[in-house]
Structure 1
Amino acid sequence: MDRRAKINHDVILQGSGKIVLGENSFIGSFSVIGANESVVIGKNVMIAQGVSIRDTDHNFDDLHKPMLNQGIKTKPILIKDNVWIGYGAVITKGVTIHSGAIVAANAVVTKDVPKNTIVGGVPAKILKRREE
């Protein structure tokens, strides 16, 4: 973690993977970052309160075995520079959020977010493109 980065109180960092928080970025209170592979957060990123960012899902394909015993699958998450993630948003495994993007409050991001776009909804969809 860069010394100018900030993690507010009551943030949970969990898992056995790598978590990187870039320069001048912050994670709001009551957020959860779960990394069993990697979650990399760039510079000047604002992550609001109550956000969930997890690079892992549970396997569930075998109907004859408890889901608890089926293991996990992981895929890294990359959040590039100058991104704003709103309150209560969920970022799922394998997602890249490109520079200048905004994720609306309570959005569930299951696919990559293009540069300079605003996404929202469940699942998140492009709402608007920011002007350059």
Structure 2
Amino acid sequence: MRSPFLYFKNFIGIGCRKLRFLSAFSAGAIQTFDKLHVEIYKKGKIKLGSYNQNRGNLYLVADGGELKIGDHCFFNTGTCITAAKSVTIGNNCKFGNNVVIVDHDHDFRNKTDSEFISADVVIEDDVWVGAGAVILRGTHIGKGAVIGAGSIIKGKIDPNAIIIQKRSTDI
């Protein structure tokens, strides 16, 4: 059980972020965040549902995009979510250690410019994402899907799918 002091500390922390970012940041009731890092740039927005929690560092970045997280989600240590366009996470989702979610990447074909290519990321309700997974732009993960540890995901994942990516160990 978490100490009452932690709830008070989180209440104050969420309140300070609301004041700092004004309408660009909103959060529902009772957030139990331990080391929450929030960055909002270029009219980005972050909206947190209610009763979310994390263990260790959680990085939320809205760099011109919109990041929406539903209710009752859990983020383990080192999760990093960056939205340049749109990242939407449903209710009751669980994320393992060091999960990375990004809705953009560099256009490596353009040699003269460092522009980003962006596409929405949608993670529906009741999804579990294992440690070290990376979810890339243009991904839609269906309700109840399980993403195995270390997986790199791009594209459409069907509801209730179990994704395990094996890698060759030949040297």
TM-score (norm 1): 0.84
1:43 aligns with 91
4+ long deviations beyond 4 Å: none
CA distance, structure 2, for counterparts of residue 122 and residue 57 of structure 1: 24
Shift of 1:62: 3.0
Unaligned runs of 5+ in 2: 1-47
Per-residue deviation at 1:111?
1.9
**1:28 Cα deviation from its structure 2 partner:** 1.6
1:76 paired with 2:127, answer no
Does the CA-based 8 Å contact 1:23-1:42 persist in structure 2? yes
Identity of aligned residues (%): 28
Relative contact order higher in (CA < 8 Å, ≥ 6 apart): 1
Gaps of 5+ in 1: 124-132
Matched, 1:8 2:52: no
Secondary structure at the aligned position of 1:81 is classed as coil
Give 2:77's aligned residue: 29
What's the TM-score, normalizing by structure 2? Answer: 0.65
> Could you say what the CA RMSD is over the residues aligned between the two structures, in angstroms?
1.5
Deviation at 1:122, TM superposition (A): 6.3
| Cα distance change of structure 1 residues 122 and 18 upon mapping to structure 2, 3 Å threshold | farther
In 1, the alpha carbon distance for the partners of 2:110 and 2:87 equals: 28
The one-letter code sitting in structure 2 at the alignment partner of 1:47 is F
Are the aligned partners of 1:11 and 1:27 in contact in 2 as well (CA < 8 Å)? yes
- Alignment length (residue pairs): 119
